[in-house]
Amino acid sequence: MSSYAASLGLLPTDPAFWMPLLLLIITALMVLGTVIFDGFDMGVGLLLPFAPAAYRQALMTSLAPWRSVNETWVLLTFALAVAAFPFAFGSILNQLYLPLLLCMLGVVMRSISFEFRARSAVVMRSFWLVIFCIGAFLSALGLGLILAAFATGYQQDATNIGFILFVALCVMAACILIGACWLLMRWEGEVRLLAARWGSHAVRWVAAGMTAVSIMLAMANPAILYKWTHINNLIPAGLLWGVMLTCFVWLEIYFKRIRDKNTPKKLWLPFVLCVVLLALMVMGILYSLFPFMVLDEITLWDATPSELSMRLIFAALIIVMPVIVLRHLSNYRLLFSPAGARL
């Protein structure tokens, strides 16, 4: 850190140095929160068309206790990312027009359809359920396109189209995986068996997707390849891949056990394994990029606004964070409670 600060002509204690770092850490945590909590929401939305018709409405309703906090993650994350790194976003948003618009249209569609469905007469509920599914599809598709654009260095030409579509499918699989893990915790009987089947299909796609994105990132950017293959980094990189592989295998075994009707005790474990996988993915991307926000173009410190603007953002964060954290904790404390618990 001292060498980074010195290269910028700053001291590590200088707010102009540590404030961008802190903003990056908070943003990364919020991205992780969005991927996990909005992810299972999206996953359930993507799975609804495959669920037996008799369960669809109940499956959607079961999201209700977490829905109002789940939807705030994506809003807060996007707002913080744009407010904290406007100069990075300014340069890449041109390339992200369609992916971002699709993703956010999906988010809004899910939000509106969920609330409208909860307040509509029985005959209209199926209509809003369909809109929720479309919203989940658009969000996951947009998210996949954003990840693919990032991995290819925002080069969205015809040669990359196969890779882009593959990553989009894998991101949908990731949403399905976390959605299925959540359903395993919260449901019993037929739905649990179905969730195990969906999860075991999705886990292979997620593994393939994570590998493909890593390879593409390294191939498209020599600096990233160097970072991951440098002799000093081989042990941590090997550990990271080892942990990821273990998580994938563990998930696969777990799903198989449930499909064989040999239900294990710790039903929260697949969800936690998913969280570990997603956290490693976010950390990996962050490590690959650091200290850049746009690779080889804009560093973290070039991307942040002026010091006064950052102070204003921190002021808002300090005032509201306790309220938001308390609210989220009180809401998520029942996330791991056993199926059948009163919410």
Partner 1 sequence: MEISSLIFGRIQFELTVALFYTFICLSIGLAFLLAVSFAGKRANQSQLSSETFRVWLRIFALALFSAFGLGFLTVVEMCVVWPIMIARMGNVFGPLMFFAVVIFVVLKSTALDVMLFGKQRASFVQYRWAMRLVLLGLTLVAYFVIVFDSWTRLPAGTMMIDGRYRIYEWTELFAQQWAYIQSVEFFLQAIYSTAGLLLGFSAWQSKFRPLHDDQAIFLKRALIWGLLALCFHAILIWFLYTNHLLPYKLEMNNIYFLTWLSFCAALGLWLVAAYLSLSFFSGHLKPRIAFILGVPIGMIIPSLAWLTANDFRGEFAVMNAVKAADVITTTPFAWLVLGLILLLALFVLIIFGFVRLSAYATTQGVVPVVKAGVVP
Show contacts with partner 1 in window 162-221 (CB under 8 A): 186-189, 191
The angle subtended at Cα 179 by Cα 175 and Cα 181, nearest 5°, is 120
Applying CB under 8 A, which part among 25-33, 166-174, 256-264, 317-325 lies near partner 1? 317-325
Q: How many other CB atoms are there within 10 angstroms of residue 84's CB atom?
A: 26
Q: Which two tokens stand for residue 83?
A: 């407010």
Exactly one of 223, 249, 283, 312 binds partner 1 (CB under 8 A); that residue is 312
> Which of residues 2 and 306 has its CB atom nearest to partner 1 in the complex?
306
Question: Phi and psi of 136, rounded to 5°?
Answer: -65, -40
Contact flag: residue 323 with partner 1 (CB under 8 A)? yes
> Which of residues 29 and 58 has its CB atom nearest to partner 1 in the complex?
58
Contact flag: residue 117 with partner 1 (CB under 8 A)? yes
Contact flag: residue 324 with partner 1 (CB under 8 A)? yes
Task: Determine the Cα–Cα distance for residues 224 and 221; give it in Å rounded to an integer.
Answer: 6
Residues 6+ apart with CB under 8 A from 274: 36, 177, 178, 181, 247, 251
Question: Phi and psi of 294, rounded to 5°?
Answer: -120, 120
Binding residues for partner 1 restricted to 286-305, rule: CB under 8 A? 305
Contact flag: residue 25 with partner 1 (CB under 8 A)? no
Residues in the chain: 343
State in angstroms the smallest separation of the CB of 221 from partner 1: 22
Q: How many residues contact partner 1, by CB under 8 A?
A: 73
State in angstroms the smallest separation of the CB of 68 from partner 1: 7
> Which of residues 158 and 323 has its CB atom nearest to partner 1 in the complex?
323
State in angstroms the smallest separation of the CB of 313 from partner 1: 6
Exactly one of 15, 18, 26, 125 binds partner 1 (CB under 8 A); that residue is 125
The per-residue b/e assignment along 303-327, b for 16 or more CB within 10 angstroms, e otherwise, is bbbeeeebeebbeebeeeeeeeeee
